[in-house]
Amino acid sequence: MNENSTKRRDWIKNAMIVFLTVMLILTFFSNTIMNYSLPEVAIQNATSASITAKVRGTGTVEASDPYNVEIKESRVIASVAVKQGDTVEKDDVLFTLEDAESAELLEAQTQLDTLRTEYEKAILSADSSASLVDRVESGEVTSSDSKLAQIDDYNKKIERLGNAIESYNNRIAEIDAELGKIGEATIDTSGEQWAVNEAQANLDKATAGVTTAEEKLKTAQSVLESVNSGVTAAQEYAANCETARNEAQKKYDDLYARFINLSNKAEADLTDTEKTELNQLGGETGSVETAKKALADAETTLAAAQQAVADVQATVETDRANAQKAVDAAQTEYNNAANNKQNCENALAEAQRNLSNKQASTPDNSYRDELNNEKADLSASLAKATTSKAEAEADLQELLAGFSKEVDLLDMLRKIKEQEEKVEKLKANATGATIVAPVSGTIASVGYVAGETTSPDQPLAQIVMTEKGFTLSFSVTADQAKKISVGDVAEVQNSWYYNDLKATVSGFKADPSNPQNRMVVFDIQGDVQAGQSLSLSVGQKSANYDVVVPNSAIREDNNGKFILIVESKSSPLGNRYIATRVDVEVLASDDTMSAVSGGLYGYESVITTSTKPVEAGKQVRLAD
C-alpha cells in the first residue's frame, strides 16, 4: 500500500515537472514569435548640439542686364566671327551679312509703291482740284494763320445771320401773341358750331350702328348658308351615287349581253379566245356576277344617299326657317341704320351750311392785317437769312474739306518722302554689311550660324557686360524665405573649384510656377559665365540647443509635429519596449538634425526608422 502511494506521488511529481517544462517552453516560444511580429525600430539618443539652419538650392547664372545685339532686317548670315565665351571689345566684328536685299527692303518698297498709288488716287478724286495739287506739290500751301482767319470770317458771318434769325423769330412770336390777344372781329357762330358738332356726333353714332347691323346681317347670312350647304352636300353626294349606279348598270348590261351572245353560239363555233372569255364571264365568280353584285351595292348606296337627302330636307326646314327669319330681322335693322345714317348726314350738311353762312361776314380787321403784313415781311427776311446761313455753313464746310484735303495730301507726301528715305537706307545696307559689338564684354550666347536668316525679333547674340555682374535665383518655401535676409552671403558648393566667387542675397520675387513659394535672388560676383549652374546654401548662423534629434525622427499629423520615444517596462520574461508620443516644436534644422522643444530632457531614445508603421502606445522591438 505504501509502495503504491510512493509510486503515485512520484508519478504526480514527474507529471508536474513535465507540465511546467512544457508551459515554460511554450511561453518562451510565444514571446519569441510575438517579438518577431513587432515592428523593429532603430533608435538614437536625443542630445544637445549646435545647429546651423541652412536653405539650399541650385540655379542657373544669368547676366544682370545682358545686351542684345539685334538687327531690324531679315538678312542671311555669311559668317560668324565669335563664339560663346569670347571676350569682345566695342566695334569688334561679330557677323558678316550676305549681299542681298532683305525682306524688310522688299516690304518697304512695296509700302512705298502703295503710298504712291494712294496719293495718285487722292489727287484724282472729285474733291481734289488741280490748283490744290499744284500748291501742295510746290509747297505753297495755305498758312495756319490764313486758314484760321478764313474760318473766323465764316464763323462771324454765320453768327451774325444766326442773331438775325433769332431776332426775326422773336418778333414773329410777339406778333403771334398780339394777334392772339386782339382776336378777330367775327360774328358769333358758337350756336351753329355746336349744331355742327352735335350733327357730327349723331352721324358717328349712326355710322357705328350701320357697322353693327351689317355685321349681324353677315352673321345671319352665314348661318343660312351653312344650313343650305348641308342639304347641298347631301344632294351632291346622292347625285354622285346615282352616277356610280348608272355606270355599274351599264357595265352589267354590257357584260350580260356579251355573255348571252357567247352562250347562244354552238360550242363548235366558239374560238379558243371566246371560250376563255365565256368562262371568265360565267359562273358565280365570273365578271357578270361580279358586275351584278357591284350594281346591287351601288343601288344600295344610292338608296342610302337619297334617304339621307330626304332626312336632311326633313330636319333642316326648321333651321332654314329660323336662319331666314334672323336674316330678315338683320336686314331690317341694317336698312333702318342706313336710313338713320343718311338722315344724320343730311343734318350735318345743313348745320355746316348754316355755319358757313354765318361766317360769310367780313369784319374790320385792319390792325390785324397790319400785323399779318409785318409778319409776312419778317417771314420773308427770316427765310432769306436762313438760306444765307445755310449757304455760309456749306461754304465753311467746303473750306474745311479743302483744308483737310490739303493736310491729307501733305501728310501723304511726307509719308512718301520718309518711306523713300527708308528704302534708300535699306538699299545702302544691302551690300557689304557687318554687325559689330555695340559694347565690350563677354559673348553669352550666339543666336545664328552661317547660312541662317535673321529675324527682327530674335537677337543675333547676347553680350554680358562684366561690370554689371550676374544673378542667380531658385525657389524656396515661405518658411525657408523667413530664414533668409537681404545681404546674407551664401556658401557655394565645391567653392574650391571657382576663382574668387561670391553670392549675396539681393532680394525676393514671386515664384511663377508655384504661388506658395518665393524666389530668392542672389548677386553673383567672380569668375562665372551666363548659363553656368551653381548650388548654394544660405541662412542663419550656428547656435547651441539643449535637445537635438535626427530629422528622420520628426513626424507630423493633423495635431502637429511630434516624435516617438522608446520607454522600457519590466515583465517576468524580460523588458518590453513601448513607443510613446511626445509633441514638439522644431526650432531649427540643418541637413541631418533638428533642434526641438517639448517634454524632453535630452537623453531619451528617439525612434528614427522602423520596419513597419509604429503607433504611439504600441510595443516595438529594438534593432540588434
pLDDT digits (tens, 9 = 90+) for 606-622: 998 988 888 888 889 88
pLDDT of 541: 66
pLDDT band at 429; cut points 50, 70, 90? low
pLDDT of 495: 66
pLDDT band at 171; cut points 50, 70, 90? confident
Total-model pTM:
0.32
pLDDT of 557: 92
Type of residue numbered 302: L
420, with CB counted inside 10 A (0-12, 13-18, 19+), is: middle
Q: What is the DSSP string of 64-88?
A: SSPEEE--SS--BEEEE---TT-EE
Quote the CA–CA distance of 188 and 169 in Å, as a whole number.
33
Give tens-digit pLDDT for 116-163.
888 777 777 656 666 667 666 666 666 777 778 888 888 888 899 889
N- to C-terminal Cα separation, the chain: 59
pLDDT of 275: 79
Type of residue numbered 351: A
* Residue 122: all three cell numbers together: 487722292
Mean pLDDT of 218-227: 76
Asked if 580 and 600 touch (Cβ cutoff 8 Å), the reply is no
38-51+543-622: what CATH class?
Answer: mainly beta
What is the third-level CATH fold of 54-99+439-539?
Answer: OB fold (Dihydrolipoamide Acetyltransferase, E2P) (2.40.50)
Beta-sheet strand order (sheet of 434-436): 77-80, 93-97, 434-436
Least confident of 113-127, 199-213, 423-437: 423-437
The closest alpha carbon to 57, from 508, 595, 490, belongs to: 490
Beta-sheet strand order (sheet of 87-88): 67-69, 461-464, 441-446, 87-88
The closest alpha carbon to 46, from 559, 563, 557, 542, belongs to: 563
The closest alpha carbon to 475, from 505, 507, 510, 506, belongs to: 510
3-state secondary structure (DSSP) of residue 140:
coil
Question: In whole angstroms, how far apart are CA 367 and each of 148, 370, 377?
Answer: 50, 5, 16
Residue corresponding to grid cell 346622292: 238
Share of the chain above pLDDT 90, in %: 3
* Residue 265: all three cell numbers together: 353560239
190-358: what CATH class?
Answer: mainly alpha
